[in-house]
Structure 1
Amino acid sequence: MTRPMTRNEQEARLRRAPDAPGAPSSDFDLNPKVVLPEGRKLRPAGVLAAFRPGASGLDLILTKRSSRLKHHPGQIAFPGGKVDPGDADEVAAALREAQEEVALDPGQVEVLGTLPPHETVTGFVVTPVIGLVHGDFTPVPEPGEVDEVFAVPYAHVTDPERYSVQWRRWRGQRRLYYTVPFGPYYIWGATARMLRALAERVQP
């Protein structure tokens, strides 16, 4: 039986992840027959993959989007969103959105770096920002955007064996996508694809 990693070992692997080799990803990785329009304009966005100390190592902070939202209601997502004019870059956008959505003070986040961008079917190019949360943090969901804030163990989201490929009909076509369910939470689509990219980068 493989010995579980300590929190320090998990942290060390996260610190190496931004510099590990890897290419940009997209919602179309598993659907090579999709023809993307020439000259399409993608809107920049940043999401925060924030890890905090948990019961048996590091835990990843995720949200369940409000069921009242127009786009992606009830889906599992990282804190984050589009880059606003006042944001210096995608990192700043991710930190600002995390503060707005779950009340995470940017001063508590040690930014370890970023992963290659991910293109979504909704026209965003998303930069995943890897961070460590220091100090006490009690999540407070923003009622208009977030129904729930929860944590997933590092060991779950960084284990490639826990990922599966499923499909559904999208715009009349069969669309394949990654999933990495955790308990009652169905983590899929862009969130699962970006986590899958992280999982690849933290392997020994």
Structure 2
Amino acid sequence: MTILAFAHSKGGVGKSTLCLLIASELARNGTRVLIIDADQRQQSCFQWVRRCDAAGSLPSTLRAEVATKTDDLKRLLRDPDADVILIDVQGSMNDLLIAAIVASDLTLVPCKANVMEMVETVKLFEWAQVNLKRAPLRLVLNRVEGIDTNTIAFQDAVRLIRENALPALPTFVRARKVYEQFARDAGTLEHIGREAAKAEQIAKARANVIGLIADITAAIARPHEP
């Protein structure tokens, strides 16, 4: 079993959407995926699964449960029917975030490439390094617009990553309109791709997610490499 956590000390960084994109792509290929929604306020992942189930678009090997306390999380992590467990936690420092990081094979920390969000991200990495004996965190640059890489703001964010030696996955998650449609009740990106006009967009979006999954697999296989 593989356990991935999606965590940040602040909200609005795209954790839940990223979690769902990875979960649905894995489930599309037959992997038995359990999402543990540990966001006590929004439960975005759990609600998405319910919407997709009602719409008939939910992959058959994807399900979600809610954890409101650490005992819930520990119990759900023992699920014998899951090949991969994804934990989505609330965007704040709390006991569930700590428990998720410690339990995971890898914790993904999504962040937009701007200085304001990067400063908070640096603080989370520093806190984890000081306070947790086991903290396999990896930064994921998320919602990257096509022109972002040419901007001073992006270069400033990259400078902060390098100066603080933050371990980052090489694949950027691009900002895409189809991700917004997916987040309603699409179930999978492939489901949206049935619309001929969106086939090319979906192919690029899926390639982006698949590239990120490959990075995650490689990072888990080499846990001590940056």
TM-score with structure 1 length normalisation?
Answer: 0.26
TM-score with structure 2 length normalisation?
Answer: 0.24
